[in-house]
Amino acid sequence: MSEVREIVTRAVLAKGRKNIKVCETIPLEQQPYSVLGCWVINHEFEAVQDQKQVNLTGSFEIDIWYAYDNNTKTDIARTTTKYQTVIKVKDIVCDATTDHTDVIVRILQQPTCTNACIKENAIEVEVVFDALAEIIGETKMMVNVYSCNDNIDPIDNLENEINEDFIPEN
């Protein structure tokens, strides 16, 4: 026989995902001849819920290795880039029991340089990454509860079931 009970639990109330693209122009002292490499490191971010969206702000460091003076010398340019974006979330559960919610943001794809090109005395860099935002809160659920009427043998009877002659002696 089953009965239905109502329980309160924490669950994902809303979820959203966004592909974020950041373009940054980094001025250089020398006239660049070629871009030899680009790294994006030290990504930090913070998320705040605002109604049906999550405001994501953060920063990362861009390091560009480039050649100049007709490819005879190299240098590294560093800059810290800040960004701000909005991730729209879609409701999964409509009946939250309280207004207190938590926001969890996961970076699904770390910031990566997808394009770096020379523009006069600067290098224009394009960085992309993916973020997933979840809003966690309390909600109610209805669950079926079944009683278990199985007769469980006590553990004490386990010793009586052991066959000591199972392994033959040589």
pTM, whole model, 2 decimals? Answer: 0.76
Q: Is residue 20 part of a domain?
A: yes
Range of the domain at 9: 2-148
In the numeric block, the tokens 């490499």 are attached to 37
Q: What is the pLDDT of residue 162?
A: 67
Report which of 41, 42, 44, 40 is spatially closest to residue 105, judged by C-alpha positions: 44
Please give the mean pLDDT across all residues of the chain: 89
Total domain count, the chain: 1
DSSP one-letter code for 168: P
Query: Residue 159: what are its φ and ψ, rounded to 5°?
Result: -65, -30
**pLDDT band at 159; cut points 50, 70, 90:** low
Looking at residue 99, its pLDDT comes to 78
Q: What is the DSSP string of 114-136?
A: EEEEEETTEEEEEEEEEEEEEEE
d(CA 134, CA 15) in angstroms, rounded, equals 5
Nearest CA-CA partner of 63 in 40, 83, 29, 35 = 40
Quote the tokens at residue 151: 């007769």
User: Would you place residue 69 in the very low, low, confident or very high pLDDT band (cuts 50, 70, 90)?
Assistant: very high
- Give the model's confidence band at 93: pLDDT under 50 very low, under 70 low, under 90 confident, else very high: confident
Whether residue 63 lies inside any domain: the answer is yes
Q: Is residue 6 part of a domain?
A: yes
Q: Is the pLDDT of residue 131 over 90?
A: yes
Calculate what percentage of the chain has a pLDDT beyond 70: 88
Q: Could you tell me which of 50, 138, 53, 57 has the C-alpha nearest to residue 101?
A: 138
Residue 70 lies in a domain: yes
pLDDT in tens, 16-55: 999 999 999 999 999 999 999 999 999 999 999 988 899 9
Separation CA 95–CA 11 (nearest Å):
11
**Element (H or E) spanning 106, and its range?**
strand 96-119
